[in-house]
Structure 1
Amino acid sequence: MTALVLASGSASRRAILEKAGVPFTIDPADIDEGAVKAKFSGSPAELALELARQKALAVSPRQPGKLVLGADQVLEFEGRAYDKSCDPDEARKRLIMLRGQTHALVGGLVLARDGEIVWQYESRCEMQVRAFSDAFLDRYMRDAGSILTAGVGGYAYEGLGAQLFDRVEGDFFAVLGLPLLPLLDALRQHGALEA
């Protein structure tokens, strides 16, 4: 079996892989995401894929023979890419901006081996935020804690953040940042899981 390395410190991605019974180790990529974003001129979806590529390719040379998984997710709203909020105040402004609107979570997954990309995948989930009240927002802000700055939307969809939505179109795991079924298929094809 080929060993899998997750080029990320993401607790959510780690938990998805663990719960699915996928053996892996962690070696977080240390790339300058800000510099990549500053130079990038493509779409938010292309940015997510490029960040995933950069992560996988940064870790791959120090993990010879292993499959390295790079992953990233970007919030797209009105054609613009949004990053994680820096603090709760920014998260509150983001949630107010998204209230009653539809945005997308676009993601990129990349597998690299020995410095070469061997597989990549793009995901897109349409997220319809409900027209929540100011009272709900106040309570959410109080109860959400670290959720507010841990993900690009200021929500953890698998928990309290589910209350923000009227409708979601797309793969549940892709919303969480790791489209699991396409990844499992790729891992089987590349010898990291039994076929």
Structure 2
Amino acid sequence: MDRDNEGYVLILYYSRTGATARMATELARGVEASGITARLRTVPGVSPDTEASEPPVPTEGAPYCTIEDLRNCSGLLMGSPTRFGNMASPLRYFLDQTSDIWLDGSLTGKPAAVFTATGSLHGGQETTLVSMMLPLLHHGMLIAGIPYSEAALMRTRTGGTPYGASHWSGEHATSLSDDEVTLCRALGKRVGSLAQKLDNSHNSDN
């Protein structure tokens, strides 16, 4: 549930076929299991000249993210399908507009993690995850992966990496595998727990 005036973990994603959106939903369940609100937000597609080309309000699914959604979050989970081993351009376009947040350090010291979906078994999952980490590191965020204490990371035959949650969305997979769901929820819970601990630590220092 998205409640105003409370700490929240922002789940920011772009999804064209729905696979990344399904992951976002499972991540949100993990976040809320940790005791903090999950706020699901997406970004509009862009035209070939990189200008926003979608209506101002999406016809379905999560609302579009605003800069203030990002600025005020307690933690961030960011997801994108793979595009030639990199994040999709709509998400990159949104991040390119966050210079003000970078300048004022709004995201410094906050936890973040990343997730992705690919149509083929490997398909650049790990490079896409790393590509999403880079701007978050420039924002001073603390990157959390999935530790090998999560047993599903060793047994998965679909998606799942130590760099972040992933999903193999090929023709055989219309839904997330059990291990993919487990890892999404584990990552969401981890970032949610970190966000609360870091918030409490910051408040105790003031």
Interval of TM-score (by shorter of Structure 1 and Structure 2): 0.3 to 0.5
- Greater Rg by CA: 1
When you count strand as a share of all residues, which structure comes out higher? 1
Q: Which has the higher contact order (CA 8 A, sep 6+)?
A: 2
Q: Provide the TM-score with structure 1 as the length reference.
A: 0.38
